[in-house]
Structure 1
Amino acid sequence: MKISVQNKKIRWGIIGLGKIADKFATDLATISDAELYAVASRQQTKADEFSKKHNAKMAYDSYEALTNDSNIDAVYIATPHVLHKENTIMCLKKGIAVLCEKPFAMNSEEVEEMITVAKANKTLLMEALWTYFLPHYQYVLKLLKDKTYGEVQSLSADFGFHRPYDTKTRLFDKALGGGSLLDIGIYPIFASLSTLGLPKRISANATFFENGADSTCNMTFTYSDHLQAELKSSLLKELPTQAIFTCEKATIKINTQFHAPATVSIIKDGKEELKDFNYNTIGYNYETIHFNNLLREGKTESDIMTFDFSRKLIKTLDDVRNKIELDY
């Protein structure tokens, strides 16, 4: 840790000022012991506009300039996937704690390099997979861990929406890691890994846009003869975007937008009980508060979003890419 943050507001910087960064900054403002100190874009006008909207003190026209600001305690990296490794390592080498947006990087090799640098510099690093920290998801994890409704018999999870095909946008730009798998397929995969662990076998198929980015991905994770997870992602059509755990005594359904603040339904004996978590933020504050606490405690790794879990997640993404023959 570069400087003590025990008794002061944690000063955040944001690198990459797209839609997710805007949501992160909005929720950061709800946290009393943290503040947005600086933002960076490759365009000064964009940095200035973002800074004004979210009341940041500094606006930089380069990522490097932000990391040279000694007032910054932590950086949220929200650049395109292909820049995650480079941007993360740049911060870590200057002793700045890093919360890096998912996917952590493009492949297992890059993730391992990031973790190695974090350990060498004894600096906090965490993958920003916000779903893990949302109260409704933690609630479901506990139900499954405690086997409240018996063993899981199957999992079905999907994430899909439609956007007009446009290679000028990051979402469809294969060179930037665009396509359904890394952007949204990661969430159904996360649901499976975080509840059932690594599968014994993976089968997958995909469809592709004309530029080679994947438009849909269908995956089956086999855990045993009696347990499978059916997972889907699509940029071609709206999907329910739910996670449904069929257990011995009931069905646990995380309703639409399961990866974001959502409700949970418990379906048992033909009756459905709805649990509402009364969210009043976008949901990014939960991972940020966890990260702030780690920083204050001098920790260099999360006990929830561990390096080991990030390794398993990226390895699984690598395995799926190999199955569908998707190369970046």
Structure 2
Amino acid sequence: MKEKVKWGIIGLGSIAHQFAKELLLVEGAEITAVASRNLDKAKEFAQLYHCKKAYGSYEEIIADAEIDILYIATPHDSHTAITIKALQNNKHVLCEKPIALRYADALQMIEASKENNKFLMEAFWTRFNPSVREALLKIKNGEIGTVKYVNADFAFHVENLNGNRMTDLKLGGGSLLDIGVYPLFLAYLILGIPNEILAKSNFHESGADLQTAMILNYNQAQAVLHSSFVSSSNMKATISGTSGRIILNPLWYQAQSYSLVTNNGKVKFKLPTKGKGYTYEIEECHSCIKENKIESTLWSHQNSLDLIKIVDEVRTQIGLVFPSDII
């Protein structure tokens, strides 16, 4: 692998800004090019992060032979087409969550990764968070006994939801795909695929879900999860076992610490992240590319497929339909 991994960024919204800041913290990473449908926006972004190339179309950046890997931060509905085109043009891809709007689309993306022998990962940065990784190790080692219950939420109040990307069904809007995937991810990571899902939502006039409550039922365990744009929440996550519990402290999806509660009392473990924490998934991408892997063992293609299948079932339960679902 070349000394520097050359990154391109497609879609230059707020998440892309945060990601670019984190790229600058990772040794061996270089922001080589950025792309927006608005060239002026791309130029402004490029200048801000000392990037030498700015494109006014996605096609141009995908065709740039200098780029090793593309970070795709466009709205959910465009992930599949852009990712497949990038993979076919000899690019590795880190695609923002959710990987796609539905299971069938995610499957096409993964098939393209395999066909073109290029690395593809869904950008579930929380998977690589040090607190999350250490908590999982403690769970695996039986420090809280057998896990029986997971409780997690992701919620914040959005002031004006009218005309907002978050409630635009064409873009895959709604709290479920935007933030509900986080608590679903955690439950899946710890308990796997549920036997049964029960979910209910309240909706915006656009048809996008504003808040969604989910119960995942397993043979001997349950998860109670929630996502919302209409109110804030504690945003901590609790994993309860037969002999203790682990609390991922707020904000749990970017945890800087976690607590272990057993009969011996409560112990807090502090693991501050480098930057906000995107740095760890970036380093995972570098490692996989160096080792000629097309997927990560920590968040694999199958993991992404399992999770989007769970999301699909929640969508069925709540009746959330996107225009592109209707053929």
> TM (normalized to structure 1)?
0.96
Q: Partner residue of 1:33?
A: 28
The letter of the residue matching 2:175 is: S
Q: Is the 8 A contact 2:203 2:209 kept in 1?
A: yes
Distance of 1:205 and 1:278 partners within structure 2 = 35
- CA distances 1:29-86 after superposition (whole Å, capped 9, x unpaired): 0111111000000001110111011111100000101111111000000000000001
Residues 244-303 of structure 1 deviation map (CA, whole Å, 9 limit, x = unaligned): 011122121001111113320112237322111022411101001000111111111111
Q: 2:227 maps to what in 1?
A: 233
Q: Hey, what's the Cα distance between the residues in 1 that align with 2:135 and 2:169?
A: 34
Aligned to 2:77: 82
Which residue in 1 is equivalent to 2:266?
Answer: 272
AA aligned to 1:200 is N
Name which of 196, 200, 204 aligns with 1:205: 200
Is residue 245 of structure 2 the alignment partner of residue 218 of structure 1? no
1:287 and 2:281 are equivalent in the alignment = yes
Find the aligned partners of 1:34 and 1:165 in 2 and give their Cα distance. Answer: 37
Structure 2 equivalent of residue 157 of structure 1:
152
Distance in 2 (CA, whole Å) between partners of 1:171 and 1:181 is: 10
Q: Report the CA distance between 1:227 and its aligned residue.
A: 1.4
What is the identity, as a one-letter code, of the residue corresponding to 1:71?
Answer: E
Q: Which amino acid aligns with 2:96?
A: E
User: Comparing 149-158 with 98-107, which one deviates more in the overlay?
Assistant: 149-158
Q: Distance in 1 between matches of 2:43 and 2:154?
A: 34
Choose which of 1, 5, 8 in structure 2 pairs with 1:13. Answer: 8
SS at the partner of 2:218?
A: strand
Is the alpha carbon distance of 1:144 and 1:270 closer, same or farther for their aligned partners in structure 2, counting shifts above 3 Å?
Answer: closer
AA paired with 1:213? A
| One-letter amino acid of the structure 2 residue matched with residue 44 of structure 1 | L
- Letter of the structure 1 residue corresponding to residue 310 of structure 2: T
Q: Does 1:61 align with 2:56?
A: yes
Say if 2:248 and 2:255, in contact at 8 Å, map to a contact too: no
1:204 is displaced (CA, Å) by 0.6
Q: Does 1:180 align with 2:175?
A: yes
Alpha-carbon distance in 2 for matches of 1:326, 1:166? 17
Residue-by-residue CA offset, 1:109-141 (whole Å, 9 max, x unaligned)? 100111111111111111111000111110111
1:148-194 deviation per Cα after TM superposition (whole angstroms, max 9, x unaligned): 12111211111100002333321121211111000110000000000
Secondary structure (helix, strand or coil) at the match of 1:156 reads strand
Which has the larger displacement, 309-318 or 295-304? 295-304
2:255 alignment partner, one of 257, 261, 268: 261
**Does the residue aligned with 2:271 lie in a helix, a strand or coil?**
coil
Determine if contact 2:249/2:255 at 8 Å carries over to the other structure: no
- Deviation string 1:299-323 (CA, Å, 9 cap, x unpaired) is 1111111111100000000000000
Alignment-derived partner of residue 103 in structure 2: 108
CA distance in 2, matches of 1:290, 1:191: 19
Q: Which runs of 4+ in 1 moved over 4 A?
A: none
Q: Which moved more, 1:275-284 or 1:314-323?
A: 275-284
Paired with 2:31 and 2:274, the residues of 1 have a C-alpha distance of: 20
State the TM-score, normalizing by the size of structure 2: 0.96
Shift in Å, 1:7:
3.7
Question: Could you tell me whether the CA contact under 8 Å between 2:9 and 2:73 is conserved in 1?
Answer: yes
In the alignment, the residues of structure 2 paired with residue 261 and residue 15 of structure 1 have an alpha-carbon distance, to the nearest angstrom, of: 27
Residue in 1 aligned with 2:325? none
Distance, in Å, in 2 between the alignment partners of 1:53 and 1:62 is: 19
Counterpart-to-counterpart distance in 2, 1:261 and 1:228: 23
Q: Summarize the Cα distance change of 1:301–1:101 in structure 2 as closer, same or farther, 3 Å threshold.
A: same
Secondary structure in structure 2 of the residue aligned to 1:47:
helix
Match of 1:3 in 2: none
For the Cα contact (< 8 Å) 1:165–1:172, is it kept in 2? Answer: no
1:314 and 2:281 matched: no
Give the SS at the match of 1:259. Answer: helix
In structure 2, stretches of 5+ residues that fail to align are 323-327
After superposition, where does 1:120-135 map in structure 2 within 5 Å?
Answer: 120-135=115-130
Question: Take 1:138 and 1:189, find their aligned partners in 2: how far apart are those partners?
Answer: 17
Q: Distance in 2 between matches of 1:65 and 1:91?
A: 11
Name the % identity: 39
Alpha-carbon distance in 1 for matches of 2:4, 2:164:
36
Deviates more, 1:261-270 or 1:299-308: 261-270
Question: Shift of the alpha carbon at 1:197?
Answer: 0.4
CA RMSD of aligned residues (A): 1.1
